[in-house]
Structure 1
Amino acid sequence: MEQTVQPCPQCGTEIRTDRRFTTWCSACDWNVDPVEPDERPGHVERMRRGIAHRYGERLLAEMTRGESPRPRRDVAGVLAYAVALCVHGVTVALFVTGALLVTLGRGGAPSVLGAFLLGLAWLFRPRFGRLPDDAPVLHRADAPRLFALIDEVAACAPTSGVHAVAVTAEANASVSTYGVRQRRLLTLGLGLWEITTPQERVALLGHELGHFAHGDTRHGVIIANALHSLNSWRYLVAPIRNPSGLEVILNAFYLLPFLAVQGVMMLLDQLTLRAAQRAEYLADATSATAASTEAAVALQDRLLVCGPAEALLLRESNARQVRGAAKRDEPGQGLWDRLAAYVESIPEGEYERRRRVGVLRGHSVDATHPPTHLRRACLLARPAEPAAVRVDAAAVAAITAELADARQVVARCVLRG
């Protein structure tokens, strides 16, 4: 720790801080959030964040009143599915019309139009996901102890486990599905996995598997694919920036379709926004049930420093490019050891600063996720839960051995840039 001491320019309080991190005053919050946003949000985004803030405050009140942590099927949810099915209905109509025109057009202009409509239908078709080809993927036979732990945590949700685990360098974790049969995929980012304790890892698994257990609508194939189709439509009819003479006419032609697509996207976004935030709180509840409230709260604190963790990985990559081939055979494990040591050295004052920044920014980063400080407050407001799943030293060692090859592969990818 490289400590510095200086008086606060605003209130005169003595500030002791680590020079590697932002200098700020805990007494008056001077310089607590020195980073200015890259650009001011537009009207639509400001409205979205305002609605998200109101939803978030009400949801926090509901969740801390001790209500049963179960997902709700409300009017908004039913309407969201109805809108999503209408979006898919447009894709089906394009396909059927295109197929008929191609079949009956006999090679003339109708066939050309039909082929165009079939191309649009292909562009807007539902996606079922697939296993990543740029990251190591583990199956049950490759990592039996890791999958056994996942099964133990899943039983707390309750839900079933996963069919595959993808390992990446991100300081994040997520769940998704792949294939027509909607098999389950857990993506573990070593940037987060390597900076957490064994019990915090249980909390992380509990949170991610909780999304399966509580039916997160935005992860579902119907709504997720509807949002994908709408994004494709918006890209297709988006106005051209800095248009020329002819492009001005084209922009005028696209205006109504663009506004229609934008309106449907906003509608579907708002209909699922509350459910998306609730899903995060419910997933946190599963996290506490599996790993204990203490571990779930500790995981929330770890999430605060994912940014510095990713920054270190980027610096390591850049430094490797400068060194060139001098350390080409450096073991990959050294990268994860340095990452863990760096995060362990982050002082408590930096955690506290980031908590206060979260309070100031509110839902400004991601409206679909409640701010970390609200999720943390919700966990602390509910009765403390003991751990249903505990990981002993033998299990930690076995899982570490199962991930060893993936660690090496991912570390080499990071160091190669």
Structure 2
Amino acid sequence: MPSAKTDTATPVLCPKCQSRLVSENEATPWCARCEWNLDHFPAPQGLNWVLRWLYVRERRLGFTSGTGLVRELATGRARPTLRLGTAVLVAVSAVLLLLPLALLAGGVWLIAASGGFGTQIILGLLLIAAAYWLRPRVDRLKDLKHDTYPLSAERQPELFALIARTAAAVGAPMPDHVALSDEWNAWVARAGVRGHRVLVLGIPALVALSPQQTVALLAHELGHLGNADPRRRLLTRPACTMFAVLARALRPPRKDAWELRVGGILAVVLAAWQVLGGALCRVLYSAHIGMNLLAERTHRRAEALADLGAAGAAGTAATLELVADMAMWPVIAPVVDGRTAPGAAQARWREGLAQARERNAERAPRLLQLSNRTDASLFSSHPAPGRRHDLLKAAPFQQAAVVVTPEQALRLDAELNPYVEALRGELAKRQRDFELL
């Protein structure tokens, strides 16, 4: 795709289709019709030419990756499969897990063979400590529940009934733990050794969405559970984290022997460490970057598949509305604040959000398309909202399998309202604390 070389060279009309160029937030203009110049990425100031070249190249590859993902999945028939990238990550993770096991075995053997207190025991204890430090880690349910409001089927029967209907529509298991948070977000995870399924929904997002968009949000997150995405992330986590851990452990100090006031054999050891350890750190960090590039590509595909599953449960129309609304969240989010009177937050916020959407209705398509530039990165775990929107439009249209009636929507609002008021109180407190600074 051709693009302008500099901002000053950008014409008023698109040289490909002669449409008038558009822009948002002082971004470099692009063609909304054919996306000419949408892949223009000015490098940040202060970088040398190598870093500028790498930045622009990485962004353009991310842009190309997004368009390629749409072409790959646009038929709507794609299913989660064990792809080459995932297979490599799982294999590397399995090999890396042998390292702490080897350290543990070596430490135990040294202690058992020592015959008494001495250097072997100290070395064995150090190896065991290193094995503990490099051990594989899983998310703890206690940590995932931090700063959230736990829900239950007894207190929120309508919400849990909707979750059950949506889970059945996407072929996913019911989550073991459901909670609300104060984020403009929603996510699922597996926690603990037993793999508890966790679903967390953001209160602001639930207030901002229509009932059918809420179904699309639930279907998307539950689709991750049905596709075993959290489990896959757990299996590939060592490959994505351990190279960086090892690099940090081997990184030599930046100060030289004179600055650290060491001499003799210590100065020689320090110099060797800085040369060999520095080179090894670069190799390990390069491996870390490579593993995460593979992982994020897998994650973006998983997000796109979850969108297609959401369209089957909530309907293509509602899922398109949800994705388009996400591109507007940074613009309309300031409406959700603590200045609303107690007891009226849910109604006032929805009224304010509707007005904000109306004020920015003319900008909405440009903001959605601009996300294809701003969110284009090989290191992004999600496709840009614009690409997700393109995929849903290109895939076969689907009617909703799960529909929320007006009566059910009212009961859902009633169950959500106490938590909306709790969030309003927290936001009001934060605002008061800020004004006192």
- 1:175 is the counterpart of 2:176: no
- 1:378 is the counterpart of 2:388: no
Give the whole-Å Cα distance in 2 for the aligned partners of 1:90 and 1:44: 33
The change in CA–CA distance for 1:360 and 1:260 in structure 2 (over 3 A counts) is closer
Q: Is the 8 A contact 1:135 1:410 kept in 2?
A: no
1:142 maps to amino acid: R
Q: CA deviation at 1:171?
A: 0.6
Q: Which residue of 2 aligns with 1:109?
A: 119
Q: Is the 8 A contact 1:291 1:388 kept in 2?
A: yes
- 1:199 is the counterpart of 2:192: no
Give the whole-Å Cα distance in 2 for the aligned partners of 1:152 and 1:355: 30
Give the whole-Å Cα distance in 2 for the aligned partners of 1:139 and 1:242: 56
Q: Is the 8 A contact 2:62 2:377 kept in 1?
A: no
Q: CA deviation at 1:194?
A: 1.1
Name the TM-score, length of structure 2 as normaliser: 0.76
The change in CA–CA distance for 1:258 and 1:384 in structure 2 (over 3 A counts) is same
Give the whole-Å Cα distance in 2 for the aligned partners of 1:359 and 1:27: 19
Q: Which residue of 2 aligns with 1:304?
A: 327
2:425 maps to amino acid: R
Give the whole-Å Cα distance in 2 for the aligned partners of 1:33 and 1:96: 59
- 1:75 is the counterpart of 2:88: no
- 1:159 is the counterpart of 2:203: no
Equivalent in 260, 266, 269 of residue 292 of structure 2: 269
Give the whole-Å Cα distance in 2 for the aligned partners of 1:42 and 1:246: 34
Tell me whether 99-108 or 347-356 shows the greater mean CA deviation: 99-108
Offset from partner CA, 1:171-214 (integer Å, 9 cap, x none): 11111011211111011111211100000000001111111222
The change in CA–CA distance for 1:366 and 1:376 in structure 2 (over 3 A counts) is farther
1:341 maps to amino acid: E
Tell me whether 237-246 or 248-257 shows the greater mean CA deviation: 237-246
Q: Is the 8 A contact 1:101 1:114 kept in 2?
A: yes
- 1:389 is the counterpart of 2:402: yes
Number of residues of Structure 1 aligned to a counterpart in Structure 2: 382
- 1:331 is the counterpart of 2:354: no
Tell me whether 144-153 or 404-413 shows the greater mean CA deviation: 404-413
Q: CA deviation at 1:152?
A: 1.0
1:375 maps to amino acid: R
The change in CA–CA distance for 1:96 and 1:168 in structure 2 (over 3 A counts) is same
Q: CA deviation at 1:37?
A: 8.1
SS in 2 for 1:401: helix
SS in 2 for 1:160: coil
Equivalent in 66, 70, 73 of residue 60 of structure 1: 70
Q: Is the 8 A contact 1:169 1:414 kept in 2?
A: no
Offset from partner CA, 1:393-417 (integer Å, 9 cap, x none): 2322333333334333333333333
Tell me whether 99-108 or 158-167 shows the greater mean CA deviation: 99-108
Q: CA deviation at 1:355?
A: 1.8
Give the whole-Å Cα distance in 2 for the aligned partners of 1:12 and 1:46: 23
Give the whole-Å Cα distance in 2 for the aligned partners of 1:297 and 1:93: 50
Larger radius of gyration: 2
Q: CA deviation at 1:287?
A: 0.9
- 1:118 is the counterpart of 2:131: no
- 1:28 is the counterpart of 2:42: no
Give the whole-Å Cα distance in 2 for the aligned partners of 1:152 and 1:91: 43
Q: Is the 8 A contact 1:140 1:163 kept in 2?
A: no
Q: Is the 8 A contact 1:169 1:411 kept in 2?
A: no
Q: Which residue of 1 aligns with 2:157?
A: 144
After superposition, residues 78-93 of structure 1 pair within 5 angstroms as 78-93=87-102
Tell me whether 367-376 or 241-250 shows the greater mean CA deviation: 241-250
Name the TM-score, length of structure 1 as normaliser: 0.79
The change in CA–CA distance for 1:191 and 1:104 in structure 2 (over 3 A counts) is farther
Unaligned 5+ residue runs, structure 2? 1-9, 14-18, 29-41, 262-269, 431-437
SS in 2 for 1:232: helix
SS in 2 for 1:177: strand
Q: Is the 8 A contact 2:166 2:313 kept in 1?
A: yes
Q: Which residue of 2 aligns with 1:134?
A: 147
The change in CA–CA distance for 1:109 and 1:365 in structure 2 (over 3 A counts) is same
SS in 2 for 1:174: strand
Q: Is the 8 A contact 2:96 2:242 kept in 1?
A: yes
Q: CA deviation at 1:49?
A: 4.1
After superposition, residues 179-190 of structure 1 pair within 5 angstroms as 179-190=192-203
Offset from partner CA, 1:265-286 (integer Å, 9 cap, x none): 2332233343222211110001
The change in CA–CA distance for 1:147 and 1:267 in structure 2 (over 3 A counts) is same
Equivalent in 366, 389, 392 of residue 353 of structure 1: 366
1:123 maps to amino acid: W
SS in 2 for 1:349: coil
Percent identical: 25
The change in CA–CA distance for 1:12 and 1:89 in structure 2 (over 3 A counts) is closer
The change in CA–CA distance for 1:89 and 1:405 in structure 2 (over 3 A counts) is farther
Q: CA deviation at 1:104?
A: 4.2
Unaligned 5+ residue runs, structure 1? 1-9, 14-25, 321-326
Tell me whether 293-302 or 232-241 shows the greater mean CA deviation: 232-241
Equivalent in 296, 301, 319 of residue 278 of structure 1: 301
Give the whole-Å Cα distance in 2 for the aligned partners of 1:111 and 1:392: 69
Q: Is the 8 A contact 1:309 1:339 kept in 2?
A: no
The change in CA–CA distance for 1:31 and 1:208 in structure 2 (over 3 A counts) is closer
2:126 maps to amino acid: F
2:110 maps to amino acid: L
Offset from partner CA, 1:60-106 (integer Å, 9 cap, x none): 11212x25220122333222210111122222223332333344444
Q: Which residue of 2 aligns with 1:20?
A: none
